[in-house]
Each structure stands twice: as structure tokens, then as C-alpha cells.
Structure 1
């Protein structure tokens, strides 16, 4: 078995040579491709990892081409503390995209109520003047949560896994983290002493641009969102989706461009296996058959199973029968417009005086969009500069519904490209969390998104499932759902 990267205890995994198993992953987004990579890492070079993908590799990491340049239409930012994503980029030899500075403002439908300047100290003074110490209280809260969440990397480096999202969260932040998945963000912030004005004018716009939802979303996903609103963010040169294709290649995964139509259990003595029926869009899979039937010892579902996503997978022959997973996915429309921004809409009749690269919005009845931003291509040349508002540029608009023609005709534009994403869960405070283990050796990755949806959350879930599958396969129960891990790891050293 190949060594576990970055673990001081990787030799423990190589001592036990497991019976070769056949793993399959359904979905080649960041979660699925990371799972294939981690399965290869833990199960070794001998196993064949099949990855089924009905669409494009990358899933919700995708680009569109405008005027000979590619732009992110899906997941576009990564936090500097996202250690799995950082490690992927390093291992794959990818590069960090050069960041291009740009100021942000918040629009309430009538006025710009918050404007970033070129001077950091002036921005801090304005925040303090308008909101008191609310922003300091918020920052301390987010940093405390991030510090606890960072424990997951140590646990995973030592090979520990969790059989549920609740167990994972409990190991990081105790009942506090689990409670944060059940109560609204606004309640938690008000208890912290954050003012209602700050919540309405700063927190709400961040939730709208990141998740298309308001401050009634659970506090934990709100904290994930706020961590992603900080300055220390990055992206991958050439497009974030390159991480997915790179991980599949590094895992030497067998990619099957096919729609999985059904999964059914097969029992061979005490061994639980799964039969996958998949159909290729072109009618023929690599095996040469229209219907690809194969038995797998381990199956990881790395695609949302909620009804609104229409995964197309039927679960047949399971006892008890599978019930539909709770909740729905939220529809967000990303519109990439190449043209001139109508700055007078924001109270700037002269576009030369419009200084902002991005505009966030408060929750206002009349506003039909969540944000608009001047975007940079995924390949940024050394001499690249952001277009001025009086020049034709490329803008990304997030909105709950497709933009109507009235808005678009008020702009002067050359092209419009629309991508409608089932982007992340519809967050409610009482929806509960999805299981990780659906059946022996059948795992569900996207349940982590009900706690928080981000590239790194999917990567953490991928590592957890690869470890969990490995330990279940080798009956290493002492590596799953262990309590007091911080103390346990200290005594191991």
C-alpha cells in the first residue's frame, strides 16, 4: 500500500497489505476527483479506481470562453488556510493566479452604503465609525472557528476518520459546532454583540454573493462563508477545474464518461458489494458495451442526491429502501456579460468616476441580482490590467433568476453567457445533516455540504471517506470515531 502523504504514521498503513478491492467514484467534481486521489493514496497502486462522470470533469468548477479568454463560471475563490487545495496545487505543479486589486462597494438599491477606498486605515476607521466594534467581534469569532476547524488536518494526517458529519464536527468543536448547524447565523451574531446594522449591511451582502441566501442560514455555513470573504484568497492559474483533471490523472483513475442509472447491493457471503449500471451518452463505454455493469467493493457517491439536483441514480434492492435525502439545492444563475456596465444604475452617470471592481447588494425587494463584478481571465499575463468602467469589460452577475431583457438592454454589450447552477444546498436551520455511510461500503460525500459548501469542505470530506473506507475494509475500528483526539495524538508522539 502506498504511503499516506504528510503522516508521521504512514508506515502503519503500509504494514497491512489489504486484500485488493475495487473502488468506484460517481462524480468528477472536486469532491470526486479528490476522493479518487485519496483512495489511490491509501489503497495503493494495484487497485483500479473507476470514476463515473456524466458531464464535464470539474463539476461546479467550470469556465466559459469570452472573446478568446476563459473565465470562472463556477467556484472561483480558495482561502489561504485551505490546506488540501494548497497541497493539490503543489503536487500537480499548478500555479497560483496573480491577483488583480479592485475595490468593493455595497449597494442597497438606491445608494452605495459602504465603499472601499485605497487606504486600509481609512476603511477600518469608516467601519468603526459606522458599526462600532462589531467587525472586530465578528473577526475574532470567525478566527476562533477556523482555528478549531484546522484540527481536521492533524486528525487526517494521523489517519483518523469519522462515520458521520456530526462525529467530524464534534471532534473539532464539540457540541458548539453541531449547534451552529442548527441555529441561524443572525441569532449567533446578535448574541456575540454584533449590531443589526452590521448584519444587514455587511454580513447579508456576503451571504448573498457566496450562497445566494440571507442571514437565516445556519451559523456554521455562515462562518465558512465569512472566512471566504477575507482578503487572503487565491485561485489557480488556468482555472480551478485543472485541479480536478490533475487529481484524476495523478490517481491514474479510469474515467468513464457515463450516466450512472442504478446502484444495487450484491451479497457474496459476508461481503457487501454494489452493482453499478451506467449508460454512456455515446452509447458505448470503454468496455465496449452499451450498459456497463460492474461489481464494486467500495462505491463513493460524490454527487448531490437531493431531488432538485436530479442525479438520475436509482437505488434498487436495498433493505430498508433508501429514502430521498432531505433538503433541496439552491439555484443560482451566473451571467457572464462582455460589454459596458451601466454605472448610472448605481448613481454614477459618468463611468470614469466609477471606482469599484465589484458591487455586493443588501436584501432589498426591488433588487433582482445579488452581485456584479468585473472579472479577470483564468490566465493573467504580466501586463494585464483590469478594464476601466468606460471600456468594454467582462462582468459576472449572480442572480436568483435569469436576468430579464430589460436589465440587459440597459447595458451595451457584445455577448451574454448564462450558467444556471444547482450551486449549494438551500440552507434551513432545522434540516439535519445527511449520512456519510448509506450502506456497508457505500458512501455519500456531498452530505458535508449541509454543514458548509466550499471546495475545501469537499476535499476534507474526500479525505475522510477514503480513510473511512480503508479502515472499514481492513476492520481497523480503532481509527474511526475516536474521542478526545487532540489528547490521543499528543500521547502518540
Structure 2
């Protein structure tokens, strides 16, 4: 049992570092590296836990929002990063409510799945007709898939209750074990294809429906681990929404609400310093005109630490740090303002083309992952989606930049093309290790959770866990970390 007397000295031994500080003595300064949804929500939750006397610096070398970003076409902004939010994403729901933001008005659309020659599935205006078509082609695959995803979501939603009671986890594996036991751990190690086959779902359904979803959401096939596959499926369910004005507003508004100091510069190194027996971390940074450094009691890295994603060096740590193994998936986002070539999809008359979004299966004939007509981040009450024969703004996902011939294949003509080259999310492989959260006594890594599933809400969940973990470890509330059987424990507390 941890001693919680305000006068008691606490001795904490971890990874070879001995820390001695007064219980209840708050850290003076905290650094967060990265101002995407993970770093911004970490700052927001840290302010709630540690109060307003703690200095919080947020370092960001690019724009606030990170992989939540927009481009401008004809004076209107369009999402090019994280675009949709699930209705059960409770942290994102709460952010929007507390920050005074609004849900963006939805615009109806029809979806089709293309195999390079013809559509293998076409959505209609009639829900029951679509269900019949799915049953006729795939049997009961859709029903089995929905039941499986809902069962996973039901267990995963326990995280909100655990976090509301102040419980935290020191590793992503501990979190998954607490929520769903060994079954959840196995879902991060076994492929989506293998898991769905065991549920009796046909290979045709996996190759066409499931693969189309994993390609548009993660740029990868159904061989990804089952847990991230379930998150991908949840990402196309009913009720999805977005933030009016752009999802990136959540990040900037949280930083403003938390009253943090945003430093627009590049962090180059983190070094271990000593202040008596208490570790102190030196963060060095540089910009075009100047460089500098500062010292922090706690440092949280909220940006990927992998070979192609980081230039941060770590000094004076034993053992020395090296970038984590694994790679991020390169995704090219081409935002095209132009006229879709509906003939490519088998519709010579563009007026008869009914689809706003085209997903794809895996095929050597295809050069794109998906193509969709997109709406601006600000939608007025009288807004209508462009007719198929009109010039519209299309977002094309592909694994490599589109050649001119490919653009001519997709579009009859176009006014502009804006290309964003993302390292969007991890390359998911079954059995791949998950990076740690605790790198050193008070040095933490947020983005490990991406390696079980990358999504806005997953980052927000990791951020809340990070705030709780740092607070509980700083104040020696060890009984609030990695607790087992919380379902029954919380019931007893109530």
C-alpha cells in the first residue's frame, strides 16, 4: 500500500533511477513533444490532473493538429487526415461539448466497390435492398461481422469507466488484458483474415467487403491484425460524424483551454540530467534562426519514434535508446478539383453515375485505394453535394503518387491537384511488438497505442491514460496502476 501522507518522503526505484520527492509536491514543468490529437489531449488531461501551477510546454515542429489537417480549394477547406469520428468515441464527444465546438452536418452518399473492371457491390437508396444484395452474394457474413465488432466494442468501452475512476496502465498490453483478457491480446497477434474465417465468414466477403474497408482506412489488406481490423470496420458504421470547421480545431482549442505554452520548433535531443536524486530532463530544440534548451521534471513524447519518423537523439540514458522497430505506411492523398471520368467505372453518361465514394479490392489493375467526392469542413444548411456531371472536389488515396496518365484515367479534366504524402499509420503485421509507455522514470511515450490501432479516439484514450499514469506514479498512487479485475473492483467501490 502506498504511503500518502503529505509529509512522507517517497522513494521510487525504476529502471535504475532513484527518485526522492515530497508526496503531494507537484512537478514544476512538463514537456510534451507533438501537438497532434495525442499531444493536445495529453496537455488537456494533464492540466486537469496537475492543476494550473504546473508549467506545460508543447513542442510542435509543424502545424497544430498533426495528422488532422486540411487543404484549401477555391477558398474552402477539406479534410485530408483523420476525417470521421465514431458515435461511441466518448472522449471526442466530450471534447467537442466542453470546447463549444459543433458536429458537422452530414451529407448523404452512396458507396460502391470496384475491382478494376466492374463494381462488385453497389449501394442503393434502399437499405433492405442492400441487405438482400449482401446476403445473396455473401451469405450471413455481414451479420457475423457486425456481431463480432459489437462484442469487441462492448468490452473496449469499459476503458471510459476505468479512466473515470482514475485507473491507469503502464503498458498497452496491460490495458488490453484488463479490457478483454487474453482474447484481446490475441486479436493484436492474429490476422483479420484468419479470425474471420474461424467465424465462418466467406473468403469472398473478406476479399471484397473487408479488404475494401481496410484499404480505405489503413491502406493495407485484411492480413492486418484482427483488432485494428475491427477498428477499421467500426470506421464505416452508421452515425459517423466530424467537427464543424475541421477536426484539427479540437487540437488547437484543447491547447488554448489548457493554457499551455506552444513552442513552434524542432526538438533535437532529450538528455538525462540529475538534480540531487531527482531526474531532470534537458530538451534541446532548434529552428531556422535559433536554438535553445529547457529542463523538465516530466517529458512526454507524442510523436512517432521510429526510423523514418524521428530525428530526436537520446543522451546519457542507460541502456541507450534506439528507434523502435517497424515502419509507417506511406499514403498519398491527392485532392483533385475536377470532373470524374465515370466511363472508367462503366458509366458513359456522367449524369447517371450515382456514387460519391468508390472503394477498391486488391487488384494489380488498380492504382488507387479509394476515390471519394468530399465536402468542405464548413457546411451551410443549403449545401448540396455536387451532381456527377459537375466539377467536384475528390480525394484519392493511393500508395504512390498518381502519374498524369492515371489522373487522366480517373478524371475527364481537372482544375487543380494538391498532393499530401503521409506516413499515416503503422504497417500492421500480426505478432509485431508494441512499444512501451514508460521509457525512463519520468520519460513517457504516447504513440505506442497506434500499434494496436490508429484512430483519433485511440490517441485520446492513450492521452487520458498518460495523464492518469504520470499523476499516479508521481504521487505514488501505485494501487491505481495495472489493477486486475476492475469490473468487479469498481462495482465494490460503488
Name 1:115's counterpart in structure 2. Answer: 122
Partner Cα separation in structure 2 for residue 473 and residue 352 of structure 1: 63
Give the superposition deviation at 1:291: 2.3
Give the superposition deviation at 1:317: 1.1
Name 1:384's counterpart in structure 2. Answer: 383
Task: Tell me if 1:211 matches 2:218.
Answer: yes
Q: Is the 8 A contact 1:326 1:431 kept in 2?
A: no
Q: Is the 8 A contact 1:357 1:373 kept in 2?
A: yes
Task: Tell me if 1:395 matches 2:402.
Answer: no
Name 1:448's counterpart in structure 2. Answer: 449
Partner Cα separation in structure 2 for residue 453 and residue 205 of structure 1: 17
- Calculate the TM-score normalised by the size of structure 2: 0.94
Partner Cα separation in structure 2 for residue 433 and residue 325 of structure 1: 9
Name 1:291's counterpart in structure 2. Answer: 291
Farther-moved stretch of structure 1 (210-219 vs 408-417): 408-417
Name 1:245's counterpart in structure 2. Answer: 252
Give the superposition deviation at 1:388: 1.0
Give the superposition deviation at 1:18: 3.4
Counterpart secondary structure, 1:203: helix
Counterpart secondary structure, 1:121: helix
Partner Cα separation in structure 1 for residue 445 and residue 42 of structure 2: 11
Name 1:127's counterpart in structure 2. Answer: 134
Partner Cα separation in structure 2 for residue 193 and residue 473 of structure 1: 48
Q: Is the 8 A contact 1:182 1:432 kept in 2?
A: no
Q: How does 1:137-286 map to 2 (within 5 A)?
A: 137-281=144-288, 283=289
Name 1:92's counterpart in structure 2. Answer: 99
Counterpart secondary structure, 2:382: coil
Q: Is the 8 A contact 2:268 2:312 kept in 1?
A: yes
Partner Cα separation in structure 1 for residue 407 and residue 121 of structure 2: 25
Partner Cα separation in structure 2 for residue 31 and residue 257 of structure 1: 17
Name 1:58's counterpart in structure 2. Answer: 65
Task: Tell me if 1:27 matches 2:34.
Answer: yes
Give the superposition deviation at 1:73: 0.9
Partner Cα separation in structure 2 for residue 268 and residue 192 of structure 1: 57
* Cα root mean square deviation, aligned: 0.9
Counterpart secondary structure, 2:105: coil
Q: Is the 8 A contact 2:367 2:406 kept in 1?
A: no
Name 1:354's counterpart in structure 2. Answer: 353
The runs of 5 or more residues in structure 2 that have no matched partner are 1-22
Give the superposition deviation at 1:21: 2.9
Q: Is the 8 A contact 1:137 1:194 kept in 2?
A: yes
Name 1:13's counterpart in structure 2. Answer: none
Q: How does 1:295-444 map to 2 (within 5 A)?
A: 295-309=295-309, 311-410=310-409, 411=411, 412-444=413-445
Give the superposition deviation at 1:22: 1.1
Name 2:79's counterpart in structure 1. Answer: 72
Give the superposition deviation at 1:17: 4.3
Name 1:466's counterpart in structure 2. Answer: 467
Counterpart secondary structure, 2:42: helix
